Chains A and B, each alone.
Chain A
Amino acid sequence: GIQVEQSPPDLILQEGANSTLRCNFSDSVNNLQWFHQNPWGQLINLFYIPSGTKQNGRLSATTVATERYSLLYISSSQTTDSGVYFCAVGGVNLETSGSRLTFGEGTQLTVNP
């Protein structure tokens, strides 16, 4: 099946700093989503971005499908941004990917005041 690697695994920032999270994947995808899991376990969808660039407030994401990576940018970070950020992809090869999203192991972000 498709492999998803996220980096860095852990990231500690001071409030106000900017950061870039990376997601590499091993095969062609037709679905890529970024999620934020808060400290209470709730997963919130941030972006549906199989290709191109999107922005939502302080967050933006870019997926370069031909080079098999996606980036999540967080600007002017706040303590409420803390949590785990997951990248999840759906492969185009239905025989190996089926109906599933394959999740990376996540980036644990801590924003200190």
Chain B
Amino acid sequence: ETGVTQTPRHLVMGMTNKKSLKCEQHLGHNAMYWYKQSAKKPLELMFVYSLEERVENNSVPSRFSPECPNSSHLFLHLHTLQPEDSALYLCASSRDRLAGGNFDTQYFGPGTRLTVL
């Protein structure tokens, strides 16, 4: 029981498709994150939202478009992806993004395993 859910768990899409990944947290947290985990590479932070405002974009290509309509939901809209975008996409949340220079524990969802054909 992590309190963070992600849908779908698996997604296969063509390069011309448009799809969206959804993340929902039930922990009352104010900060949410998207990470990408590719094979044999460390987790890469993509986006950070704090109180529904995007506070960090880690040089992510525009074919990835995040949306945070409220503090409980986070989306990642995908369009014209490339095969190298195939990876595990993980959502996380924490109580606050930054509090006196200290970060809170991050809680992760189960991930969406994306395959781009």
CB-based contact A41/B48 at 8 Å: no
Kindly supply a per-residue 1/0 record for chain B positions 93-117, scoring 1 wherever the CB is within 8 Å of any chain A CB and 0 otherwise.
0000110011111111011010000
Q: Is A42 part of the binding interface, using a Cβ–Cβ cutoff of 8 Å? A: yes
Q: Is A98 part of the binding interface, using a Cβ–Cβ cutoff of 8 Å? A: yes
Chain A contacts for B37, CB-based, 8 A:
41
CB-based contact B55/A99 at 8 Å: yes
CB-based contact A99/B42 at 8 Å: no
Most chain B beta carbons < 10 A, residue from A40, A50, A86, A98 = A98
Chain B contacts for A90, CB-based, 8 A:
102-103
CB-based contact A44/B56 at 8 Å: no
CB-based contact B42/A44 at 8 Å: no
How far is A24 from B49 in the complex, measured between Cα atoms in Å?
28
CB-based contact A105/B103 at 8 Å: no
How far is A104 from B50 in the complex, measured between Cα atoms in Å?
24
Chain A contacts for B2, CB-based, 8 A:
42, 44
CB-based contact B48/A100 at 8 Å: yes
Kindly supply a per-residue 1/0 record for chain B positions 68-100, scoring 1 wherever the CB is within 8 Å of any chain A CB and 0 otherwise.
000000000000000000001010100001100
How far is A25 from B84 in the complex, measured between Cα atoms in Å?
29
Kindly supply a per-residue 1/0 record for chain A positions 23-59, scoring 1 wherever the CB is within 8 Å of any chain B CB and 0 otherwise.
0000000110101000011111100101000000000
Query: Given the interface contacts A42-B2, A99-B48, A99-B55, does A104 sit within 8 Å of B107 by beta carbon?
Result: no
CB-based contact B90/A43 at 8 Å: yes
How far is A92 from B101 in the complex, measured between Cα atoms in Å?
7
Pick the 5 closest A-B CB pairs, nearest first.
Answer: A43-B108, A103-B43, A103-B42, A31-B103, A48-B105
Q: What are 20 A-B contacts with C-beta separation under 8 Å?
A: A30-B101, A30-B103, A33-B106, A40-B110, A41-B111, A42-B2, A44-B108, A45-B106, A45-B107, A45-B108, A48-B105, A50-B102, A86-B42, A98-B48, A98-B56, A99-B50, A100-B45, A100-B58, A101-B106, A106-B42
